[in-house]
Amino acid sequence: MPNQNVRRVKIPSLEELTKTQQKIYDDIKYGKRNEVPDLFMVLMHSPEIASRTQALGEKLRYDTSIPKKLSELAILIVARFWRCPYEWHYHEPEAIESGLDIEIIKSIKELKKPYFKYIEEESIYNFTNELLYNRCVDDMTYEKALSNFGEKGVVELTSLIGYYCMIAMTLNEHNVPLPNNSSAKIPSTKEKF
């Protein structure tokens, strides 16, 4: 298991960015994110990957048929599954701001099944967990998601889950530190199962 205190790739400074990297940096900073998290600075080592990753992420995070509260629910489930404190750090406040019940967030953090008032939330929870833990979703769970979100929504949800898995893996593997010396709110990959 890697030492979490050792950064595996350098986070480049603004002064070190090439013209291509600077353009990508500006696209991110002046896009919907309004900031350039260290995740994207790490990805700058491969500018084309950084550019395409940020474009897909922007689409999946801000412009799908899935309401933000439900997207953030799926993202938190992914962050907890991958034990990715960085992803959790950014998305817990987004989930709260979007109206996701604090008790749901607490239950996910504690790896307990939450109580859901709304069938759409339970559908997202079941679909995301089955896809992560079972590597596929059973027919009944799929049908419920399809009836709640339609074909477009199910495709977008699956893509959202896959995207945030990739992001969690990137953050964990390259030991990207939490911003501003923040404390981890969920266990990280350095902690044993």
Q: Could you tell me which CATH number the domain at 68-173 has?
A: 1.20.1290.10
Q: How many residues does the chain have?
A: 193
Those residues with Cβ within 8 angstroms of residue 47's Cβ, 6 or more apart along the chain or in another chain: 18, 20, 21, 24
What is the C-alpha to C-alpha distance for residues 131 and 124, in angstroms, rounded to an integer?
11
The first and second tokens of residue 61, run together, are: 């995070």
Query: What is the predicted pLDDT for the residue at 107?
Result: 97
The first and second tokens of residue 9, run together, are: 């790739």
Query: What is the predicted pLDDT for the residue at 115?
Result: 96
What is the C-alpha to C-alpha distance for residues 77 and 98, in angstroms, rounded to an integer?
16
Q: What are the start-end ranges of the E strands in 60-193?
A: none
Listed as ranges, residues in the chain with pLDDT below 70 are 1-7, 190-193
Encode pLDDT of 46-96 as tens digits: 999 999 999 999 999 999 999 999 999 999 999 999 999 999 999 999 999
Task: For 188, list phi and psi in degrees, rounded to 5.
Answer: -100, 180
Average pLDDT over the chain, rounded to whole? 92
Helix and strand numbers (H, E) in the chain are 8, 0
- Supply the pTM of this predicted model: 0.92
Are 154 and 64 spatial neighbours (Cβ–Cβ below 8 Å)? Answer: no
Query: What is the predicted pLDDT for the residue at 91?
Result: 96
Query: What is the predicted pLDDT for the residue at 5?
Result: 58
Query: What is the predicted pLDDT for the residue at 187?
Result: 84
Domain positions in the chain are 15-62, 68-173
